[in-house]
């Protein structure tokens, strides 16, 4: 049974269902545009832990446990797939070490929610699993001190910077079952447009998003209007404009039904600069906002394009440009 | 078609074939026990690059390109799966950015070769791909300065320390095709035995290896003697002894046909202390040593148990214990 579809896409013969999701977010995210839609909002960024990193791991564990508990138990979960932005996936590993289920660690930077959904769907549609839990997290303060400066230092952020989302999202995929279906996916290539400003990740990631979206539409012979909404992960204000322009240059107009998760988290007066970023940006928008709309049929078809900036502080210090990736997952009611 | 097999194992209905491998190693590895079996040995650890990290990425790119060229072209490759030890998978991302193929980034620390083989086999046996390239790398100097101290500093290594292998290995898996078959896999759980000494990773990882091996044997109803050889990734001298002991406590004697890749790379007089470690330890032993023996039928069945220590410098500084994982892949001639 050949499920390859065109050059870099796959389709699912028996599309797995997203039977549950769960989200937890930080106080700033709770005060933002989607505040009313999260399952849980932290009182502060530490959430009772003694470090930001442990707070992030605790959020991810809570999200996975909560999603799994909505219609099942941990013992029913064949595999957990997770990742995050911290070196060596610190949050994911500490989140799952008490869960006692087989685990696969993934790294696609902020594209990891899409990567985990597509590999989860492969496991189920391929017959290797009945039930898979996926989850990702990010944490503003933990990410800032790893990638840039400790937030206590109060360094002024450049105008193109995006604000890493504090939060975690998890989804459960099941063979059969009720819920929106993961119907197809397009696996991204690493695309490096030569940009070097790690404070402007949106523009760096836009060419990777354009490449994946273009191939997705080509592979399936679809127009952008096939989807109610095309959602990129965290291109932010500049990256979103650039993606629209890059697609226009290919003769594809996405302006009518395209949104970026990075612009759906914070209110403008929260001053996130160019928008939100982080693994949790797309995870929160998908799991807290789009998922319920798919369940009630308000949305019929969405394409989530997770976008990831794959640089490290070392690659930056060695004056390398920024390799980026984008993975697309089609979810249909 | 249910390919789940017991609690945490899967079996492949149409086992993918390993149709090619390629390896490159550093000078110390070239001077070691397997020196004559590598495809390429670097003259120095920089290999013409201006940093150790770029040297590692160049090795991985060379290994993937070389394995792929043995019986095909890059255009035939549906997906590349890769990972390494560097923060944000720097080596993997820079290795593949020029290859132009769909890419999935994986992180399982030193277990990543086994993780990539099992996900690659899932993609093929599930019908999502015809040909997948997998690859991993590690680099002694790059790993030391990221995890411990810059090697220029000349810090004395503790007796239980292992020596991170400089090298890269890649394998091509294909639907059908001639070559040893990936017949089954067992996905590991994150196991944290509470150990905190990051200079003694072998003992920390042994309980994870024991858990995965135990479940593999249980899930398939096999005895250790089913395999000509059971190969763990990089438990080293102490971890190897501990695994034998842990399995004995479960009533399973593996002493007769068990080896650790970490003890197959260096000669004792090269003074690696407790053995070799790093993603490349198991990749070099599998791709350069075991693979040819499987091809000519000298080995009939092997079980590769990749072992990974999932700590980070941050988790260590925060006084956390070491979460570990082990993934098993059965390869049969």
For residue B7, what pLDDT is reported?
A: 87
Best mutation target, B53, B64, B125, B190, to test chain A (most A CBs within 10 A)? B190
pLDDT above 70 for B1 = no
* Contact between chains at B115 and A93 (C-beta distance less than 8 A): no
Residue of B270, B296, B265, B258 lying closest to B283 (CA atoms):
B265
pLDDT at residue A213 is higher than 90: yes
How does pLDDT run across B296-308, given as a tens digit for each residue?
999 999 999 999 9
pLDDT one-digit tens code per residue, B149-193: 999 999 999 999 999 999 999 999 999 999 999 999 999 999 999
A333 vs B: CB within 8 A: no
| Best CA proximity match to A190, nearest among B105, B303, B219 | B105
Q: In which band, very low, low, confident or very high, does the pLDDT at A40 lie, cut at 50, 70 and 90?
A: very high
User: Hey, are the CB atoms on A103 and B8 less than 8 Å from each other?
Assistant: no
The predicted-structure confidence for B34-84, as pLDDT tens digits, reads as follows 999 999 999 999 989 999 999 999 999 999 999 999 989 999 999 999 999
Q: Residue B120: pLDDT band by 50, 70, 90 thresholds? A: very high
| pLDDT score for B71 | 83
**DSSP code at position A25:** E
Residues in chain B closer than 8 A to A130 (CB atoms): 4
Strand pairing category for B229-232 and B79-84 = unpaired
For residue A331, list its beta bridge partners: A182, A302
Within 8 A by CB and 6+ apart from B128, the residues are A3, A4, A10, A122, A126, B78
Distance from CA of A161 to the nearest CA of B (A): 19
Given a cut of 80, is residue B239 above it in pLDDT? yes
With CB atoms and an 8 Å threshold, state whether B122 touches A125: no
3-state secondary structure of B284: helix
- B188 contacts chain A (CB < 8 A): yes
Q: Least CB-CB distance to A3: which of B115, B128, B186? A: B128
* pLDDT the model gives residue B163: 97
pLDDT at A71: 83
Higher pLDDT, B5 or B103: B103
Q: Are A113 and A136 in contact (CB under 8 A)?
A: yes
Residues of A in contact with B104 (CB under 8 A): 106, 108, 115, 119, 187
User: Across the interface, do B315 and A90 touch by the CB < 8 Å criterion?
Assistant: yes
Q: Do A187 and B102 touch (CB under 8 A)?
A: yes
The model's confidence at residue B2, banded by pLDDT at 50, 70 and 90, is confident
Tell me the average pLDDT of chain B.
97
> What is the distance between the alpha carbons of residues B241 and B248, in angstroms, rounded to a whole number?
11
The answer to whether the Cβ–Cβ distance between B3 and A128 falls below 8 Å is: yes
Alpha-carbon gap: B191 to the closest alpha carbon of chain A (Å): 6
pLDDT value for A81? 98
pLDDT at A179 exceeding the cut of 90:
yes
Q: Please check whether residue A53 touches B, CB under 8 A.
A: yes
Q: Give the pLDDT of residue A283.
A: 98
8-state DSSP, B226: G
Q: Which of residues 275-314 of A touch B (CB under 8 A)?
A: 310-314
Chain A residues in contact with B101 (beta carbon < 8 A) = 189
Tell me the three state secondary structure of residue B90. Answer: helix
Contact B87 A313 (CB under 8 A): yes
Distance in angstroms (rounded) separating the CA atoms of residues A72 and A57: 22
**Residue B190 contacts A where some CB pair is shorter than 8 Å:** yes
Compute the Cα dihedral for B315, A318, A188, B139 and give only its sign: negative
pLDDT of A25 over the 80 cut = yes
User: Is the CB of residue A141 less than 8 Å away from at least one CB of chain B?
Assistant: no
Asked if A189's CB is within 8 angstroms of B107's CB, the reply is no
Structural element, H or E, at residue B238? helix B236-249
Pairwise CB contact (< 8 Å): A109 & B123: no
Q: Which residue in this structure is represented by tokens 């593949």? A: B96
Q: Do A191 and B97 touch (CB under 8 A)?
A: yes
Q: Which residues of B touch A191 (CB under 8 A)?
A: 97
Q: Measured between CB atoms, which of B105, B146, B187 is closest to A107?
A: B105
- B 108-127: CB under 8 A from A: 108-109, 115, 119, 122-123, 125-127
pLDDT of residue A237: 97
Q: Distance (Å) from the C-alpha of residue A21 to the closest C-alpha of chain B? A: 22
Contact B106 A103 (CB under 8 A): no
* Percent of chain B surpassing pLDDT 70: 100
A262-287 pLDDT tens trace:
999 999 999 999 999 999 999 999 99
CA distances from B153 to B139, B145, B157 (A): 17, 10, 11
Contact B88 A107 (CB under 8 A): yes
Tell whether B4 is within 8 A of chain A (Cβ). yes
* ipTM summary value: 0.98
CA B201, CA B268: separation in Å to the nearest integer? Answer: 19
Percent of chain B with pLDDT over 90: 97
Task: Tell me if A189 and B103 make a contact (CB, 8 A cut-off).
Answer: yes
The mean pLDDT value for B262-291 works out to 97
DSSP one-letter string for A262-319: GGSSS-GGG--TT-EESHHHHHHIIIIIIHHHHHTTS--EEEEEEEEE---HHHHHTT
What helix, strand, coil percent values describe chain A, rounded to 5? 40, 25, 35
DSSP SS3 for A250: coil
Residues of A with Cβ-Cβ distance to B88 under 8 angstroms: 87, 107, 109, 310-312, 315
Closest CA to B323 of A292, A62, A129, A92: A92
Interface of B with A in 211-250 (CB under 8 A): none
Percentages helix, strand, coil for chain B (3-state, rounded to 5) are 40, 25, 35
Neighbours of A223 (CB within 10 A): 11
Reported confidence tier of residue A241, pLDDT bands at 50, 70, 90: very high
How confident is the model over A80-119, as pLDDT tens digits?
999 999 999 999 999 999 999 999 999 999 999 999 999 9
Contacts of A110 in chain B (CB under 8 A): none
pLDDT given for residue B144 in this prediction: 95
Chain B CB contacts of A51 below 8 Å: 318
Q: Is the pLDDT of residue A1 over 70?
A: no
B102: pLDDT strictly greater than 80: yes
Judge whether A192 is closer than 8 Å to chain B, CB to CB: yes
Q: Is the pLDDT of residue B284 over 70?
A: yes
Q: With 0.95 as the threshold, say if the pTM is over it.
A: yes
Nearest to B88 among A105, A109, A190 (CB): A109
Q: Give me the DSSP letters along B310-333.
A: ---HHHHHTT----EEEEEEEEE-
- Delineate the domains of chain B, giving CATH numbers in brackets: 4-174 (3.40.47.40), 181-332 (3.40.47.40)
């Amino acid at each position: 049974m050949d499920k390859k579809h065109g050059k870099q896409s796959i389709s699912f013969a028996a599309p797995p269902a997203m039977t549950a999701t769960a989200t937890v977010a930080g106080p700033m995210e709770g005060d933002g545009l989607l505040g009313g839609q999260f399952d849980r909002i932290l009182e502060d960024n530490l959430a009772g832990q003694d470090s930001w990193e442990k707070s992030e791991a605790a959020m991810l564990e809570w999200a996975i446990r909560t999603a799994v508990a909505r219609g099942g138990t941990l013992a029913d979960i064949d595999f957990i797939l997770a990742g995050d932005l911290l070196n060596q996936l610190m949050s994911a590993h500490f989140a799952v070490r008490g869960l006692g289920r087989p685990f696969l660690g993934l790294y696609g930077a902020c594209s990891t929610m899409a990567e985990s959904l597509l590999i989860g769907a492969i496991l189920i549609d391929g017959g290797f699993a009945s039930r898979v839990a996926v989850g990702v997290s990010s944490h503003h303060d933990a990410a800032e001190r790893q990638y840039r400066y400790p937030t206590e230092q109060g360094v002024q952020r450049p105008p193109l910077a995006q604000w890493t989302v504090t939060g975690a999202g998890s989804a459960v995929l099941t063979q059969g079952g009720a819920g929106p279906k993961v119907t197809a996916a397009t696996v991204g290539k690493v695309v490096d447009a030569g940009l070097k400003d790690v404070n402007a990740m949106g523009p760096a990631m836009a060419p990777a998003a354009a490449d994946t979206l273009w191939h997705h539409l080509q592979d399936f012979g679809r127009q952008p209007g096939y989807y109610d909404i095309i959602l990129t992960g965290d291109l932010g204000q500049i990256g979103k404009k650039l993606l629209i322009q890059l697609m226009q240059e290919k003769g594809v107009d996405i302006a009518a039904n395209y949104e970026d998760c990075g612009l759906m988290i914070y209110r403008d007066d929260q001053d996130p600069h160019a928008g939100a970023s982080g693994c949790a940006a797309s995870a929160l928008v998908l799991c807290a906002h789009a998922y319920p709309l798919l369940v009630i049929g308000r949305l019929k078809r969405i394409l989530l394009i997770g976008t990831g900036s794959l640089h490290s502080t070392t690659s930056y210090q060695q004056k390398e440009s920024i390799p980026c990736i984008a993975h697309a997952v089609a979810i249909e009611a």
